[in-house]
Chains A and B, each alone.
Chain A
Amino acid sequence: MKIRLNKTVAAVASSALVLLAVPASGIAGASTMTAKPTYVIGYEGPLSGGNAQLGINMQWGVELAIQNANASGKLPFKLQYVGYDDQGSSTLSPAQAQSAVANNKLVAIVGPAFSGATRAAEPFYSNAGIATVSPSATAAALATGFSNNNFMRVVYGDDVQGAADANFLVKTHSAKKVLVIDDGSFYGAGLAQVVATDAKSAGATVSTNSLPQTSNCGGVASSTEYTSAATQIASANPSAVFYGGYYCDLGLLLGALSQTSYNGIIMSGDGSESSSLISGTTPASAANGVWLSAAGGGSSAFTGKLETQFKVISHGVKSSTALYSTQAYDATNVIIAAMSKIKWSSDMQLNRIAIKNALHKTTYKGVTGTIAFQSNGNLAGSGAGQVNFYQVQNGVITAAGHN
């Protein structure tokens, strides 16, 4: 019993000595080897809810970029991934943005993924001087809506897609009278507005209408509005109808138009470019002939070793089917490239602003192409050749060239 007690005393005493020794050796070694600081690159996007898959695709891209950057051993810091789940919703994104701002290791954000969520979150990031590089938010107005130049994106905005669509209708297909319809969403109305403006300046007569989202797209407007709209379209008989909105409601318009005498051109943007457009249209044959467009950021798949590494993270999903994963990878890497250019300070606020400013001066050759930003955050370059066209033929969305 006595011996045992002594042993315990000895153990306590020796561990106390070790504890005392640790700070001492820490001070002694400071000049030769410092532990690398850890910084966080956040990602804001839908990680749960109805749009989660799109968001998770991007998460994989971000994780791959961070994993490879850490493994390279070249960085003077260690990177850590933190996800902020906004479910793609503009009502949930401000809270996520605030929580990201409050993380004092966070240097920059990949995302937000969705345009509406971006619009709602951006004021918080902007106030904190945090750069956000979105892999997928394409609404045209995002590039001009904020101060502080903290918004950037690695895809072309809907201004590029809309201009290409207007050109396609008015120049390629000689449409003289164009009716532009939108679904009242931030994305749909934005794209429609660009098409309307550009078609008008290309010389076409343009009229517009707005048909709010129905229950098919999660809205509350009456599906019956499309019956009346189709009657009106058949009567006005424009040479082309452009629809700015999503596939879920476009199907209603196509079904209603197929019951009328209208046989002009019908076109929609990337929100409609989904095979669900055909399965959601009654009759399915009404979707045939419809033109669609989508702005792509060049190559949309990893190759070689990167693809192998990606499939480990994605549990076997190929990057070619994981839409926006490559864009998210590039967005992360352009942030890492900017991080290696700045002078680090002990004030995180200054680091965030320095990274934001460095991003505007960074040119990075990524998987999807060369990435450099204009002062408004849009991808540099005219976007020529970047908008792909498709046509529904016999129930299948078929590629039909690019702008």
Chain B
Amino acid sequence: MGGFINYFSSHFVTLGHEFWPLLVGGLATGFIYSMVAIGYTMVYGVLRLINFAHSEVFMSGGFASFFLTKWLVGSGTPSAWQSVLYVVLGVLVGGLAGAAIAAGIERVAYRPLRRRKAPKLAYLISAIGASYFLFNLAAKEFGRINFAMSPPFANHALFTFANAPVQMLDILTLVVGLLMLFGLDRLVSKSKLGRSIRAVAQDAETASLMGVNIDRTIAVTFLLGGFLGGAAGYLFGLKFGVVYTMGFTPALKAFTAAVLGGIGNLRGALIGGLLLGVVESMSVAFVNGAFTDVVSFAVLVLVLLVRPTGILGESLGRAA
């Protein structure tokens, strides 16, 4: 017991030093989780199923932007405006690769089943099949080793927030994450396209009677979710590198974040992602690296005990 108390007190004495840096690191991770969680939540909104191949959307975005960045940067040092251009291109290419793969998964693994009115379990299995196919294809084409992606900018600390150094990459993740999540929220709540997505989510049959093209709406949902997932793959790759299995764990975490925030709820995905990122970051330092997942899932269970539909609740028909 004495050892136990010592252990915790020694950790909390240092809390002042570590708290802010851990918070910044956790938020940066959280934005990546949120961007991936959007893909799960939107697909769940329109199809009521979990797209388990979304991890490979994330991985494809990472690899596409990795090859682009490698080709653009090479061994040179880009100038300031080149850095900005390369980052924008990296986000775009990562996002487009993700969107293309997501649309492909929808076309090949889901649409034929929908046409045949297959049971939900069939979708689950075909999604897992698509996921295995894609990451094994990546392993075959790119090799089973991890690659480091050199950022097209010098990743030094820009300023300190409390006592936390905030790096260029953290700012980039925050800006890209916020822009995309905000843009998507506007798109879904204000545009005609968003209205049709919400209509399909609320009641697909009625929506089709009202003249909404269901196939097109579902395809667009996959494209949008895929774009965010692919762009998240780029941001993740800049920090941790890319490898053919890179999608599995972040996607599982993002799925958790989507459930935590309330599946089907766009703003819930944001809150769930940020919360999970921060909880994970703190638990590595204050508990133990080996218990990170235990802590994260304990938080998930606790939240679901109190609010079975997640923090913001499911809002299927309204937000997505």
Contact = CB atoms under 8 A, between A and B. Distances in A.
A248 B146 contact: yes
Interface stretch (B82-90, B99-107, B286-294): B286-294
Contacts of A215: 146, 243, 245-246, 248-249
A216 B243 contact: yes
A279 interface: yes
Interface string B8-38: 0000001001100110011011000000000
Contact of B145 (A210, A227, A248): A248
Interface string B136-173: 00000000111111110001010000000101000000
A218 B148 CA distance: 16
A231 interface: yes
B78 interface: no
B150 A282 contact: yes
B145 A276 contact: yes
Interface in A232-262: 232, 234-236, 248, 251-252, 255, 259-260
B146 A280 contact: yes
A226 to B, nearest CB: 8
A283 B238 CA distance: 10
A304 interface: no
Contacts of A255: 148, 239-241
Contacts of A218: 245
Contact of B281 (A227, A235, A260): A227
A279 B66 CA distance: 14
Nearest to A184: B290
Contacts of A282: 148-151, 238-241
B28 to A, nearest CB: 8
Contacts of B277: 224
Given A211-B290, A222-B249, A259 B167 contact: yes
Contacts of B284: 211, 225, 228-229, 232
A20 to B, nearest CB: 60
Interface residues of A, number: 39
Interface string B269-281: 0000000010011
A284 B240 contact: no
Contacts of A184: 290
Contacts of B264: none
Which of B246, B252, B281 has its CB near the most chain A CB atoms (within 10 A)? B281
A282 B239 CA distance: 7
A279 B147 contact: yes
Contacts of A396: none
Nearest to B252: A220
Nearest to B253: A222
A209 interface: yes
Given A224-B277, A231-B25, A235-B18, A212 B145 contact: no
A89 interface: no
B249 A223 contact: yes
Contact of B289 (A216, A229, A235): A229
B282 interface: yes
Given A224-B281, A225-B284, A232-B284, A216 B146 contact: yes
A53 B30 CA distance: 39
A280 B245 CA distance: 15
A348 interface: no
A209 B289 contact: yes
B319 to A, nearest CB: 27
A374 to B, nearest CB: 33
Contacts of B246: 215, 223
Contact of B17 (A220, A228, A235, A251): A235
A221 interface: yes
B118 interface: no
Contacts of A260: 165
A222 B21 contact: no
B122 interface: no
Nearest to A181: B289
B249 A231 contact: no
A222 B145 contact: no
A234 B289 CA distance: 16
Contacts of B80: none
Given A224-B240, A284-B148, 6 more contacts: A221-B289, A227-B25, A228-B25, A231-B25, A232-B285, A248-B145
21 contacts: A215-B243, A215-B246, A216-B146, A216-B241, A221-B289, A222-B292, A223-B236, A224-B240, A227-B29, A228-B25, A228-B285, A232-B14, A232-B18, A232-B285, A234-B21, A235-B21, A251-B146, A255-B239, A282-B150, A283-B150, A283-B155
CB-CB nearest 6 A-B residue pairs: A228-B284, A211-B289, A282-B148, A223-B240, A215-B245, A216-B146
